Chains A and B, each alone.
Chain A
Amino acid sequence: MAAAEAGDTQQMLGVGLIEKDTNGEVLWVWCYPSTTAALRTLLLRKCCLTASNKLSQPFVFGQYRRTWFYITTVEVPDSSVLKKVTHFSIVVTAKDFNPEKYAAFSRMLCRVYLKHGSPVKMMESYIAVLTKGICQSEENGSFLNKDFDAQKAYLAGSIKDIVAQFGMETVILHMALMLKKRVVVYHPKIEAVQEFTRTLPALVWHRQDWTVLHSYVHLDTDELDALQKCPGYVAGFVDPEVSDRSDLYDVFVNLAESEITITPLAKEAMTMGKLHREIGQLIVQSAEDPEKSDSQVIQDISLKTREIFTNLAPFSEASGDGEKRVLNFAALKQRRFPPATENFLCQLAVAEQMLKI
């Protein structure tokens, strides 16, 4: 058990503390074990203390070069021991995607810091969780690592809300994710962006890959470079100018106005046919059913996806080492699917790495 837990807890990479003082200056004051300067600048940008608007977003998370960061911001009440500090943020960096776990954890750390005013106490809790996977909080209850399962995190988003907002157009999102295209989501509020983007990878449940999710990105050169290294991604922005950067996306989702735009370059690759209409209808039907829960809807979608793969099966043959199936192009062409479907299947094969090289 300890080993399993150790495997889990090695997901956490570090913890940092950012303070905003009475001079109005935002400083990175403490961290453990260490951070690079690039990561520090990034996190200073992400934590909403630097922004001049007073809307404090208590919890944001995002990904940068395969490192997940979770930031909790707290306003310091006047009665606290921290005299010169007006707000502070606690940053937890980790290798896994689990917003609920780290939100709970950093909330606890915030409480400790507020109470004692010294990061040492915070560090004790952190080390406890790191080594033992459990941390006793001063109030009742404790934080247990194993309460927070990765699968639960994956399923925490609401797919029904997405279908309710976009209807049949959800199939565009589904297709984009299947083909590993670049999707950019914009909304002025980060909470909306986060909620929406974290649910999108559930549409391709058979992969269970949340590394394509970059839920909070700024239009900064460094971040965009890192983003563009990934072949396909789902990126969330709060900056309205991102709609002008058509080099960053194949599909643009304006969440505020419920609009999905496909760039002209990508339109060719994403032409839709009968197959997609079927998928779209299934998604809508499934989501409208009030009896079904979110996870059931996701199950339905993944079933349909698997159907597509079984359709591909006749045209694929076993590759050399027997593990992967490789697509036989010629056979596919002989079947003479309608061009949209053929195109889609080819691209899908590429995305699933089934192409014969």
Chain B
Amino acid sequence: MEEADRILIHSLRQAGTAVPPDVQSLRAFTTELVVEAVVCCLRVINPDVGSGLSPLLPLAMSARFRLAMSLAQACMDLGYPLELGYQNFLYPSEPDLRDLLLFLAERLPTDSSEDADQPAGDSAILLRAIGNQVREQLAVPWVPPLLRTPKLQQLQGSAPQKPLQTSRLVLPELSSRGESREFQGSPLLLPPPAQVPQLAERAASLLECHTVQLCQHAHHDCPGDEDWVHRAARLPGQEDARAQRQRLHKHLAEQLHQTWAHLGPPAPACDLGEQLQAWGAGTRTGARATKGSRFTHSEKFTFQPEPKAQTAQASDVPASQRPQQDMLAAQEQELESLREQLEGVNHNIEEVEADMKTLGLSLVQVETECQQSELSTAEREQTLRLKSRAVELLPDGLANLTKLQVVVESSAQRIIHLAGQWEKHRVPLLAEYRHLRRLQDCRELESSRRLAEIQELHQSVRLAAEEARRKEEVYKQLVSELETLPKDVSRLAYTQRILEIVGNIRKQKEEITKILSDTKDLQKEINSLSGKLDRTFAVTDELVFKDAKKDDAVRKAYKYLAALHENCSQLIQTIEDTGTIMREVRDLEEQIETEMGKKTLSNLEKIQEDYRALRQENAGLLGRVREA
């Protein structure tokens, strides 16, 4: 109970109740403290309801009564299951108070929901850390210079702590062309942070670059100052340095005034991005130097070529007039001669075209003739060969003919024989080839299947690795968060205690079930025994009674039996009664304890006192009314 009370008190403190440090348990809660605690909790849970109630207990009894009633109403509106009245607040009893405060503490909103939404990752942690630092530093109130501690002097002092050394950064520009564009795109141009080797100079150089850009963009919008822009863009070093610096000063001061006017106290829960946005919301639209959208950039650049095109058109050389008449005549003559020439050339062209056509046709014809003659030559050669052989064989015509036929027959036979031999070689080779091809196909199927399996395995390995990496990140982030959490409440001890208690409860439950089952068994046994007893008695009774009519001794035995049964049953009855009474005694003892805890007597005295005070107040008010 002590531990639970301490947790409760701690959460009440967090809600805003000023619980004195020596109050360690709910028993020590006074009426004032109770009212203050409840009101603070209500304020946190439901601000509009809670703000109407005052945490301080008023002195007047009726006011107290009213406050208590409204508190009771508010708590019941929140959903408290039991009945509440003014007595719960004015005359609190420990168990009821514990229930009520636990109910309210549950309803308090938790902080952990905020953290769950924030993005994971190292960069997020870094940004959050930066945001926290900035917020903290902003929250430090301004202290006059002479009263500052060295640390505050660092934060708030205006004297530069390190000499400002900057180096000129080369940034790629959208409007660059040709060689400079190539250079800017090449790996020779390092990214701006890498262009400055010393860390101290890096931030300074970036600031300088940014300021220069700001000035250029700011004065872009003021058409009157165009000269300044051109001059500044071309030769920044040769300007009147002081005039430039003054302008810059003015511009920066303007900007700061504008942004600071919009800035309020930074909300505790906003992150770096929101803070930066809050500052940036007040700037002029002209100073959007850093991140114009791509659309606006492209807009700017499409409008640029148009004016250029317009200027290019204006460069027509005006035709010069030559009003001399003899020049006209000479021109006409020239024109005539040229026309004649043209006609002649056209005529020539036509002639040449006609020639070309005829030549083309004759070319086609000649080509076909050539091809045909080639073919016919080949054919004629063949026939010539055949006929010359025939002529050779002609003298002995018939005999040669038969000889030829025989030769043809025999060569046919030989060829067929050779073909048969070739078959002997060909067929096994072909069969083997087909067999091997089939094997190869099977193997390819097999290997493609295995390849698919391997790829699947790779995939699952990759997924598992990613999963592991992600969990590592989350773990790292959670560990760092855990370190930043306040250490005043040791959750580990509580969780362990809770687990212990849960275990104990489980064991007790087991024991209870065991006892219950034992009890049930016993009851069953008792029932069965009593049943047996009754039956036995009934049988014995009958048996003996039958004989009792005849025999005297049996009659006596019967009387003894009846008496025995009677006495035993009385005994059993007495035992049962004893048990019941003992149970009642235990119950009553418990009730007495709880009632004692409620401090009813002291409350009753307090009530009587208050009642008397109330009556006095009423009497006083009545008297005043009558006087008035």
Contact = CB atoms under 8 A, between A and B. Distances in A.
A21 B361 CA distance: 53
A23 B361 contact: no
Contacts of A180: 368
Interface stretch (B218-226, B290-298, B419-427): B419-427
A148 to B, nearest CB: 22
Interface in A90-136: 118-120, 123-124, 127-128, 131
Interface string B397-441: 000010000001100100110011001001000110110011001
Contacts of B315: none
A306 interface: no
Interface in A1-55: 2, 21-23, 25, 27, 29-30, 32
A242 interface: no
B437 A25 contact: yes
Interface stretch (A161-169, A220-228, A310-318, A346-354): A346-354
Nearest to B360: A350
B423 A353 contact: no
Interface in B357-374: 358, 361-362, 364-369, 371
A146 interface: no
Contacts of A128: 412
Contact of A127 (B368, B412, B431, B434): B412
A123 B415 contact: yes
B416 A357 contact: no
A25 B433 CA distance: 11
Given A23-B434, A120-B416, A127-B412, A231 B368 contact: yes
B356 to A, nearest CB: 14
A122 to B, nearest CB: 9
Given A127-B412, A231-B364, A355-B361, A30 B426 contact: yes
A27 B416 CA distance: 23
Contact of B366 (A66, A119, A124, A357): A357
Nearest to A229: B371
Contacts of A84: 431, 434
B518 to A, nearest CB: 81
A84 B433 CA distance: 12
Contacts of A120: 416, 419-420, 423
Interface string B156-194: 000000000000000000000000000000000000000
A32 B437 contact: no
B97 to A, nearest CB: 89
Nearest to A21: B434
A21 B423 CA distance: 18
B412 A347 contact: no
Contacts, number: 59
Contact of B362 (A32, A119, A357): A357
A102 to B, nearest CB: 20
Contacts of A30: 426
Contacts of B369: 353
A131 B317 CA distance: 93
Contacts of A32: 415, 419
A231 B369 CA distance: 11
Contacts of A21: 434
Most chain A CB inside 10 Å of its own CB: which residue of B367, B412, B415, B419: B419
Nearest to B390: A3
A297 B426 CA distance: 52
A124 B416 contact: yes
Contacts of B412: 127-128, 131
Nearest to A25: B437
Contacts of B434: 21-23, 25, 84
Interface in A306-357: 329, 346-347, 350, 353, 355, 357
A133 to B, nearest CB: 12
Most chain A CB inside 10 Å of its own CB: which residue of B365, B430, B431: B365
A30 B430 CA distance: 10
B364 A350 contact: yes
Interface in A254-287: none
A29 B416 contact: no
Contacts of B408: 131
Interface in B259-311: none
A49 to B, nearest CB: 15
A357 B368 CA distance: 13
A29 B415 contact: no
A84 B409 CA distance: 34
Contact of B441 (A23, A124, A350, A355): A23
Nearest to A180: B368
A231 B366 CA distance: 11
Given A23-B438, A118-B423, A355 B365 contact: yes
A353 B365 contact: yes
A123 B441 contact: no
Interface in A127-162: 127-128, 131
A109 to B, nearest CB: 14
B416 A119 contact: no
A23 B416 CA distance: 30
Contacts of A347: 361
Contact of B416 (A22, A127, A231, A350): A127
B365 A350 contact: yes
A357 B426 contact: no
Contact of A350 (B361, B371, B415, B433): B361
A23 B367 CA distance: 49
A118 B416 CA distance: 12
Contacts of B364: 231, 350
Given A23-B441, A124-B416, A119 B361 contact: no
Contacts of B416: 120, 123-124, 127
A231 B362 contact: no
A231 B367 contact: yes
A269 to B, nearest CB: 10
A174 to B, nearest CB: 20
A357 B365 contact: yes
A197 B366 CA distance: 27
A357 B408 CA distance: 49
A346 B627 CA distance: 147
Nearest to A357: B362
Contacts of B358: 329
Contacts of B431: 84
Contacts of B423: 118-120
Contacts of B438: 22-23
Contacts of B420: 120
A211 to B, nearest CB: 9
Nearest to A356: B362
B516 to A, nearest CB: 79
A119 B418 CA distance: 12
Contacts of B367: 231
A238 B361 CA distance: 32
Nearest to B433: A27
Contacts of B430: 27, 29
A146 B186 CA distance: 84
A346 B437 contact: no
Contacts of B361: 346-347, 350, 355
Contacts of A346: 361
Contacts of A231: 364, 367-368, 371
Nearest to B372: A353
A152 B416 CA distance: 33
Contact of B368 (A25, A27, A123, A353): A353
Nearest to B430: A29
A32 B423 CA distance: 12
Interface in B299-344: none
19 contacts: A2-B401, A25-B434, A25-B437, A66-B375, A84-B434, A119-B423, A120-B416, A123-B415, A123-B419, A127-B412, A127-B415, A131-B409, A131-B412, A231-B371, A350-B361, A350-B365, A353-B368, A353-B369, A355-B365
Given A350-B365, A355-B365, 9 more contacts: A23-B437, A119-B419, A120-B420, A127-B412, A127-B415, A127-B416, A347-B361, A350-B362, A353-B365
Q: 4 nearest interchain CB pairs?
A: A350-B361, A127-B412, A23-B437, A350-B365
